[in-house]
Structure 1
Amino acid sequence: MSAKTSTTGSDGFTAEERAAMKERAAELRAEGRKGAKRADGLQAVLDRIAQMEPEDRALAERVHVTVTATAPDLAPKTWYGMPAYANEDGKIVVFFQDSAKFNYRYSTLGFQDTANLDDGDLWPVAYALRAWSPEVEKRVVELVKAAVS
């Protein structure tokens, strides 16, 4: 990974990534009421991520970038104080729960019942997330694509 996308430290988003997200929020606000609501949701997610412990923050940032790139139609918003991404009906599809939220030993990537992950009579809807790697990113992309299909 390049230094720009490295998530092994607590550096968080690069200055370029932060600037791009602020520009996007401003564009959404300029689109009117619906865009302003989406921009407010994005800002709430970014603020919540900024409050996390360094390891959780690094994971949450990568999840945010991956979900928004993979499923740009999902709207970022907070849900029970967690970064989450909702469909156009406003229903949560995917969320990130940092390990500090309930003092767990791992963060969680979770999916709500609106996610299209059905596989027979039993399938996982939550995943322990302890580190980010190319393999983890690939799997998250696959899950998000399936969830919104």
Structure 2
Amino acid sequence: MADQVCATPKDIERGLFGESDGRGFAEALVASLDGLPQGFALYFHNFSTFLGKPGIWLEDLFVRPEARGYGVGKALLKRLAEIGVERGCQRLEWAVLDWNEPAIGFYKRLGATVLEEWRICRLSGHALATFVREPGSRIE
């Protein structure tokens, strides 16, 4: 999957902290041990029209391989859940690759439900640009 990553450290910095206004698009939690980062959770708010309430979308959860199995991921998710509850959110959601059985098992042990009936749809890169240029209905 590393071959799919094109974000630079500057891109991540801008996403978290914004340009000059200090308002980014996302937030992050970092788990450290002895001053060294062991993992992170990058997230942002969403909104459920089904519930009429805000939620949190977990974009990335990463724990260094050597730190796995020590509760780092669980601690990050627990803190993120606390933040959600504090902010009045009704859901904490994320995606997981269907082949990542260790992660799926981990999430299920936490009490998460894997929604088999939902699919993620994505327009990106060339397809996104082509769609924007396509003639047709527009909202001004």
Q: TM-score, normalised on structure 2?
A: 0.29
Larger radius of gyration: 2
Greater strand proportion: 2
Greater helix proportion: 1
Q: TM-score, normalised on structure 1?
A: 0.28
Q: Bigger relative contact order, structure 1 or 2, given CA contacts below 8 A and separation 6+?
A: 1
